[in-house]
Homo-oligomer: A and B are copies of this chain.
Amino acid sequence: MKFFQKEIILPRFRRGFHLVTDHIVGEFIEMKQIEMGILHILIKHTSAGLSINENADPTVRHDMETHFNKMVPENVDYFRHNYEGSDDMPAHIKTAIVGSHLSIPITKGRLNLGTWQGIYLCEFRNFGVNRHLVLSAYGS
C-alpha cells in the first residue's frame, strides 16, 4: 500500500460553482503511482464546499448557483450570524449541504470518474479567499 498526502492552495474564484479537476490532478502527480486506490480531498474552510457534477455545459454551474440562492436565501430575518455580511451564514449552510470532502476511486493512476463528472469548488462567499485543500491518495 502507498499513501501520499499534500496540501495545495487553489487560485481565487468568484462566487459560484467552478471546475477544478485539472487543477487538482495537475498538482498531485504522485497519484499516478497508484494502480488501484482512492483520492480523498478536504477543503479546510466552512464557507466553501466540494462537489462532483457535470463537467461540460456552463449553464449547469450557473443554474446550480441560482438554485442554491433560492434554497438558502440571504437577508432573511431569522439569521443571527451575519457579522461578515448577508452571504456569511448562507455560505455555512450551503457548505453543510454539498459537503467539505470528496473521495474518488483511482484506477491505473487516473481518477475513475464518469465521462461527464468533474470536481466542483463551490465558492459561497462574495469575495472568496484562496482555498486550501488537503489531498490524500492511497492504494496499491
Query: Taking beta carbons and an 8 Å cutoff, which residues of A are in contact with B?
Result: 1, 3, 5, 36-38, 40, 42-46, 51-54, 57, 59-60, 62-64, 66-68, 70-72, 78-81, 89, 92-93, 95-105, 107, 112-117, 120, 132, 134, 136, 138-140
Indicate if the CB atoms of A96 and B36 lie closer than 8 Å. no
Residues A117 and B100 in contact in the complex (CB < 8 Å), given A3-B1, A62-B80: yes
Taking a contact as CB atoms under 8 Å apart, the answer to whether A92 and B64 are in contact is yes
Which chain B residues lie closer than 8 Å to A67 at the CB level? 72, 78-79, 89, 93
Asked if B105 and A134 sit within 8 Å, CB to CB, the answer is: yes
- Interface residue from B3, B46, B95, B115 paired with A139 (Cβ < 8 Å): B3
Copies in the complex: 3
Instruction: Pick 28 A–B contacts, CB within 8 A, sort by A.
Output: A3-B139, A5-B36, A5-B105, A36-B136, A42-B112, A42-B113, A44-B112, A44-B115, A45-B114, A46-B52, A46-B54, A46-B116, A46-B117, A52-B99, A52-B100, A52-B101, A53-B92, A62-B81, A63-B79, A63-B89, A64-B92, A67-B79, A68-B93, A70-B78, A71-B72, A96-B98, A101-B104, A105-B134
Asked if A81 and B52 sit within 8 Å, CB to CB, the answer is no
